[in-house]
Protein backbone atom coordinates (compact mmCIF):
# COMPACT_ATOMS: atom_id res chain seq x y z
CA UNK A 1 0.00 0.00 0.00
CA UNK A 2 1.40 3.42 -0.92
CA UNK A 3 0.89 6.66 0.99
CA UNK A 4 -1.41 7.88 -1.78
CA UNK A 5 -3.74 4.98 -0.89
CA UNK A 6 -4.12 6.51 2.58
CA UNK A 7 -5.50 9.85 1.37
CA UNK A 8 -9.17 10.12 2.34
CA UNK A 9 -11.45 12.63 0.66
CA UNK A 10 -14.82 13.20 2.31
CA UNK A 11 -16.46 13.63 -1.11
CA UNK A 12 -15.46 10.02 -1.90
CA UNK A 13 -16.91 8.48 1.29
CA UNK A 14 -20.54 7.37 1.20
CA UNK A 15 -22.43 8.97 4.11
CA UNK A 16 -24.39 6.89 6.59
CA UNK A 17 -27.90 8.19 7.23
CA UNK A 18 -30.01 6.45 9.87
CA UNK A 19 -33.60 5.80 8.71
CA UNK A 20 -35.05 8.35 11.15
CA UNK A 21 -32.42 11.00 10.33
CA UNK A 22 -33.01 11.72 6.63
CA UNK A 23 -32.54 15.44 6.02
CA UNK A 24 -31.32 15.97 9.60
CA UNK A 25 -27.96 14.26 10.12
CA UNK A 26 -25.43 12.31 8.11
CA UNK A 27 -22.17 10.73 9.14
CA UNK A 28 -19.04 9.67 7.27
CA UNK A 29 -16.35 7.47 8.76
CA UNK A 30 -13.20 8.89 7.18
CA UNK A 31 -10.41 7.20 9.13
CA UNK A 32 -10.55 3.92 11.01
CA UNK A 33 -9.09 0.43 10.95
CA UNK A 34 -11.16 -0.65 7.95
CA UNK A 35 -10.60 2.41 5.74
CA UNK A 36 -6.87 3.04 6.18
CA UNK A 37 -5.70 0.54 8.80
CA UNK A 38 -5.61 2.98 11.72
CA UNK A 39 -5.38 1.16 15.04
CA UNK A 40 -5.78 4.09 17.39
CA UNK A 41 -7.52 6.92 15.54
CA UNK A 42 -11.07 7.24 14.28
CA UNK A 43 -12.17 10.34 12.38
CA UNK A 44 -15.87 10.77 11.72
CA UNK A 45 -17.42 13.70 9.88
CA UNK A 46 -20.95 14.46 11.00
CA UNK A 47 -23.21 17.07 9.46
CA UNK A 48 -26.24 18.25 11.44
CA UNK A 49 -28.70 20.52 9.66
CA UNK A 50 -29.27 23.97 11.18
CA UNK A 51 -31.89 24.11 13.91
CA UNK A 52 -31.86 20.34 14.48
CA UNK A 53 -30.70 18.30 17.47
CA UNK A 54 -29.57 14.76 18.12
CA UNK A 55 -30.61 12.49 20.95
CA UNK A 56 -27.84 11.25 23.21
CA UNK A 57 -25.95 8.12 22.35
CA UNK A 58 -23.00 5.98 23.30
CA UNK A 59 -20.21 4.18 21.50
CA UNK A 60 -19.40 0.47 21.87
CA UNK A 61 -15.73 1.25 22.57
CA UNK A 62 -14.20 4.14 24.42
CA UNK A 63 -12.14 6.69 22.52
CA UNK A 64 -11.45 10.40 22.70
CA UNK A 65 -13.74 12.71 20.79
CA UNK A 66 -13.19 16.17 19.35
CA UNK A 67 -15.97 18.37 18.01
CA UNK A 68 -15.24 21.13 15.50
CA UNK A 69 -17.98 23.50 14.33
CA UNK A 70 -17.31 24.77 10.82
CA UNK A 71 -20.13 27.28 10.71
CA UNK A 72 -22.94 28.42 12.97
CA UNK A 73 -23.12 27.61 16.67
CA UNK A 74 -23.56 24.39 18.59
CA UNK A 75 -24.34 23.31 22.12
CA UNK A 76 -22.86 20.03 23.31
CA UNK A 77 -24.00 18.34 26.50
CA UNK A 78 -21.82 15.50 27.82
CA UNK A 79 -23.09 13.23 30.55
CA UNK A 80 -22.11 10.08 32.33
CA UNK A 81 -19.17 9.58 34.64
What is the per-residue pLDDT across 22-66, written as a single tens digit (0 to 9) for each? 999 999 988 888 888 887 788 889 999 999 988 877 766 666 777
Where b means 16+ CB within 10 Å and e means fewer, 49-78 reads eeeeeeeeeeeeeeeeeeeeeeeeeeeeee
Residue 19, SS3 per DSSP: helix
* Full-model pTM: 0.71
Yes or no: say if 56 and 79 are a contact pair by the CB < 8 Å rule: yes
Q: Which helix (H) or strand (E) holds 45?
A: strand 43-48
Q: How far apart are CA 48 and CA 81, in angstroms?
A: 26
Amino acid sequence: MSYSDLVVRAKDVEPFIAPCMEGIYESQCLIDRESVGSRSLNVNRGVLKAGQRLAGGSHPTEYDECYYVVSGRAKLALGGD
